[in-house]
Homo-oligomer: A and B are copies of this chain.
């Protein structure tokens, strides 16, 4: 954010970083237990010192969650950017693969944001905007396709429920105003699928079946792109 001017401010930024780093390391090791005292111990501090940096354990967790959303959104955007702008299908696939790649590399961080909620932790409103960034990193591709006219007309096996259309239009206004309702439903469904398959993979549900799950995953996200009619 801001450039730290004084030595003290620089030290503060550095320690804040180190605290979060240790916290992540702990999540990686113990699964989901996060102990302030242990972090302090590892940093050679007394436990109460951490309260100069985070007002509570929950606030530290919130910071980790926000960081995770941000990093994931960046990773997706970066993968998206490696493809030609007009090749929306390839962009979608690359974005989904990047999401999975990040999740496999940082399973505990993925669990933090898309796994089941941490015991006793209630996500504050601060996490909503970052969470939306991730969604937007995906929906943005479809929005671009819609604007460029690279999105098939979808036949929706019968009409969509009226109240569902209203929901979809409201969400579209946030995630991609030009994405038609039927297409947005598929985008959300596709996102749910990606999150779900990654969760299954991380949970060991594919062990003995799809290991590695690379091919299955790519086939699946490619089909979503195809169903959306992305060019």
Contact = CB atoms under 8 A, between A and B. Distances in A.
Interface of A: 30-33, 111, 114-121, 123, 128, 131, 157, 160-161, 163-164, 167-168, 170-171, 174, 185-186, 188-189, 191-197, 199-200, 202-205, 208-211, 215-216, 219-220, 222-223, 226-227
Nearest to A107: B116
A30 B116 contact: no
Nearest to A162: B215
A116 B196 contact: no
A220 B227 CA distance: 13
A209 B157 contact: no
27 contacts: A31-B118, A31-B121, A32-B32, A32-B119, A111-B117, A114-B205, A115-B116, A116-B202, A157-B222, A161-B219, A167-B211, A167-B215, A171-B210, A185-B220, A186-B223, A188-B216, A189-B193, A189-B197, A189-B216, A191-B196, A192-B196, A192-B197, A192-B220, A193-B193, A196-B197, A196-B199, A227-B227
Nearest to A32: B119
Contact of A215 (B30, B161, B193, B227): B161
Identical copies of this chain, number = 2
Contacts of A211: 167
Given A189-B197, A215-B161, A216-B188, A203 B117 contact: yes
Nearest to A219: B185
Given A199-B196, A226-B157, A131 B205 contact: yes
A10 to B, nearest CB: 35
A214 to B, nearest CB: 9
